[in-house]
């Protein structure tokens, strides 16, 4: 009977002790002491959160050198794209002779004539003609170096174009464009050739002030014609003008004389025959 009566009381005490959540029960001399258990998980979580927030705060407060380099690179990239967008916009606005229906399509034949005057073929033919029919040693030397300058200019421009590979401006199809148009437009070969030939002519062939002004104007108009026809960008022409002057300076440093060229050819032929 006592066993049966004790079981409901123990169940009731057990249910009371189990119904209190988050309490700690200690039995000392048959008495129960109810106390609140310390929130271990919350303390662990808060300490971990504080510990993880310290490195992030340090990283935000003191940027490293890698972050600074990335910021510099991003700024340079944005500036380059901005300048490129301005170049494309200005080139498109200046291409007023790109076709017959353009804004200045009526003067397109005159602009084409300026462009042809800066082509390589007329200058190569003129240099070879002067080299063959020269009357003096001085004329022979001048035409020889002009021919070398033209060949050097063509080779260096081809190399730079193959490296950069920049496409010309996208414009409507033109029926009168020859098939020999370059696939790449940077740098402008007409601008480099016109600048180099103008500097060479001013140095060795022209002495009068009116002719010198005319030669300088011709070089600038040849570069401008490429932009007006929509076949080169503005930066292509500007870089071509600077590159043409560098080609002229290089030719002046590597100036060839007929006697030196003759000695070089004789030495080359002797070595070739000796190897055979």
pLDDT of residue 158: 92
Q: What is the pLDDT along the chain (276 residues), one digit of tens a residue?
A: 444 444 444 444 444 444 444 444 444 444 444 444 455 544 454 555 454 444 444 444 445 666 666 666 677 888 888 888 898 888 888 888 877 777 777 888 888 898 888 898 999 999 898 888 888 888 888 888 999 899 999 999 999 999 988 888 865 444 444 444 567 888 889 999 999 999 999 988 887 788 889 999 999 999 999 999 888 889 999 999 999 999 999 999 988 887 776 666 667 666 777 776
Within-domain flag for 270 = yes
Within-domain flag for 253 = yes
Phi, psi of 36 (to 5 degrees): -80, 130
Q: Residue 223 is part of which domain span?
A: 95-275
Within-domain flag for 65 = no
Tell me the pLDDT tens digit for each residue of 201-244.
998 888 778 888 999 999 999 999 999 988 888 999 999 999 99
Within-domain flag for 18 = no
Scored b (16 or more CB within 10 A) or e, 221-257 reads bbbbbbbbbbbbbbbbbbbbbebbeebbeebeeeeee
Within-domain flag for 228 = yes
Task: Flag whether the pTM goes above 0.85.
Answer: no
Within-domain flag for 44 = no
Within-domain flag for 14 = no
How many structural domains are present in the chain?
Answer: 1
Gyration radius of the chain over CA positions: 42
DSSP 1: -
Whether the Cβ atoms of residue 80 and residue 198 lie closer than 8 Å to each other: no
Within-domain flag for 38 = no
């Amino acid at each position: 009977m006592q066993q049966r009566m004790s079981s409901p009381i123990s169940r009731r005490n057990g249910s009371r002790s189990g119904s209190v959540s988050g309490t700690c029960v200690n039995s000392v001399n048959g008495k129960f002491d109810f106390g609140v258990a310390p929130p271990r998980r919350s303390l662990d979580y808060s300490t971990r959160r504080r510990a993880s927030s310290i490195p992030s705060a340090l990283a935000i407060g003191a940027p490293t050198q890698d972050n600074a380099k990335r910021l510099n690179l991003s700024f340079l990239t944005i500036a380059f794209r901005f300048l490129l967008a301005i170049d494309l916009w200005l080139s498109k606005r200046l291409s007023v002779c790109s076709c017959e229906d353009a804004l200045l399509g009526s003067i397109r034949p005159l602009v084409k004539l300026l462009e042809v005057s800066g082509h390589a073929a007329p200058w190569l033919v003129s240099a070879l003609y002067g080299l063959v029919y020269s009357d003096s040693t001085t004329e022979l030397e001048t035409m020889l170096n002009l021919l070398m300058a033209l060949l050097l200019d063509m080779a260096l421009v081809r190399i730079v174009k193959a490296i950069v590979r920049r496409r010309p401006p996208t414009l409507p199809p033109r029926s009168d464009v020859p098939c020999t148009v370059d696939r790449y437009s940077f740098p402008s070969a007409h601008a480099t050739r016109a600048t180099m030939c103008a500097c060479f002519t001013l140095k060795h062939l022209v002495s009068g002030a009116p002719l010198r002004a005319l030669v300088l104007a011709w070089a600038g108009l040849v570069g401008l014609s490429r932009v007006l026809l929509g076949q080169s960008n503005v930066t292509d022409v500007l870089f071509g003008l600077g590159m043409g002057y560098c080609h002229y300076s290089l030719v002046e440093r590597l100036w060839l004389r007929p006697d030196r060229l003759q000695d070089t050819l004789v030495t080359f032929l002797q070595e070739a025959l000796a190897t055979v």
